Amino acid sequence: MRLTRYLHALAAIALPISLIGCASTGTIIDRSERPMPTGVYYEVQRGDTLWRIAKLYEKDVDEIVKANRLPSATKIDVGQKLFIPGASENNTYATASNTRPFSGKFSWPVVGKVTSHFGEKNGLVKNKGINIEAREGSKVVAADSGVVSFIDENMKGLGKTIIIDHENGFSTVYAHNSSISVNVGQKIERNQVIAYVGKTGRAEKPYLHFQIRKGHEPINPFYYLP
């Protein structure tokens, strides 16, 4: 009789323990069966911009920035591997077929006087482009066709800034504008008005800071201006 009661007591204790074990095991299974995010990894090539990569994979720039925890959409490095969420190998990035041929020359972005040349020092800082003094409110035009890849209304030191990706390995930078008349992702034609000369940022007088970049490297604009 005592043995029977003892066995019943053991069974009563074992039942809730077995239920806890089942619940715990069920939780582990649920976690392991959560779908992993799908996508592909892309290795950044020279001349790439995040906007162009996003366009070719038909993804949103902010989605790629978030997936890769990038501090900025404007800075990616050659050789860096980016995870493109939701992409497949079927839409592999094709550099050669998606680049636009380069004419070899850019247009002047504004009419004015060059007051600081490429490589000149202002204190310890080298000029990565040229500064073109012009009347405040003068039209700033795109130096070549392309797509607006970046806009910042208050970029440190440069104020209202635009970057155009020319989809051929080159990009151009326009800074210290008083106002901007284009949007990120907008297609731009050569000599189209994109902004107006100002003195935003650290500019003490109205001028346009203009850069030409090959890949991520600034180059002397006078090599490419008429």
Average pLDDT for 186-210: 95
**This prediction's pTM:** 0.62
For residues 164 and 141, state if they share a domain.
yes
Average pLDDT over residues 28-44: 66
> Is the domain of 119 the same as that of 210?
yes
Residues 133 and 49 in one domain: no
C-alpha separations of 175 from 46, 120, 157, 211 in Å: 24, 17, 9, 9
Residue 107 lies in a domain: no
Tell whether 56 and 136 lie within a shared domain.
Answer: no
Question: Residues 65, 88: one domain?
Answer: yes
How confident is the model at residue 2, as a pLDDT? Answer: 57
Q: Is residue 104 part of a domain?
A: no
Residue 62 in domain: yes
Least confident of 70-74, 95-99, 115-119: 95-99
**What is the spatial distance between Cα 30 and Cα 116, in angstroms, rounded to a whole number?**
63
Tell me: do 91 and 125 sit in the same domain: no
**pLDDT band at 71; cut points 50, 70, 90:** confident
* Domain count of the fold of the chain: 3
Whether residue 212 contacts residue 219, with contact meaning beta carbons closer than 8 Å, is answered with yes
- Burial of residue 198 (number of CB atoms within 10 Å: 0-12, 13-18, 19+): buried
Residues 76 and 152 in one domain: no
The residue among 64 and 99 whose pLDDT is bigger is 64
User: CA–CA distance from 115 to each of 24, 159, 175, 191 (Å)?
Assistant: 72, 18, 15, 22
Q: What's the mean per-residue pLDDT of the chain?
A: 80
Residue 44 pLDDT: 85
Beta bridge partners of 63: none
SS3 for 27? helix
Range of the domain at 10: 1-34
Q: Which two tokens stand for residue 226?
A: 């008429």
In whole angstroms, what is the distance from residue 221 CA to residue 120 CA?
13
